Homo-oligomer: A and B are copies of this chain.
Amino acid sequence: MTDNSFDLKIKLIHGFSNKVRLQILECIKEKEKTVSQIVDELKGNQSNISQHLACLKGCGIIVGRNEGKYCYYSLRNERIRDLLEMFDTVLEDVHSDVSCCANHID
């Protein structure tokens, strides 16, 4: 694996590693939604959600589709959904052991 694709891998994973982003992904997992639908459902801040959507898009995790003044976001493809489900599977294994690790390092 080249340095560059290694960095891309980190960027991809980083996309998943934030609560709001993960909530967005859960929110649009089954069907595409507009930004304001997402903002409503998550009871979030429009600016904040919009930034996270830009990040997810930049990371290749989601795609946006413009329709008039609306923008619909959805998972990029089935593999992203698989990955999300894989996280849950792995989590079941790990469950009891993750409880420490208060931040990245400690």
A-side residues, CB < 8 A to B, are 1, 5-19, 22-23, 26, 51-52, 54-55, 57-61, 76-77, 79-80, 82-83, 86-91, 93-95, 97-101, 104-106
Give complex CA distance A57, B54 in Å: 32
CA distance A100 to B78 in the complex (A): 22
Q: Which B residues are CB-close (under 8 A) to A101?
A: 11, 15, 54-55, 57-59
Please state if A79 and B83 are interface contacts (CB–CB under 8 Å).
no
Q: Decide if B77 touches A93 in the complex (CB within 8 Å).
A: yes
- Min distance, Cβ A52 to any Cβ of chain B, angstroms: 7
In the bound assembly, the distance between CA atoms of A18 and B76 in angstroms comes to 23
Question: Cβ of A8 and Cβ of B91 under 8 Å apart?
Answer: yes
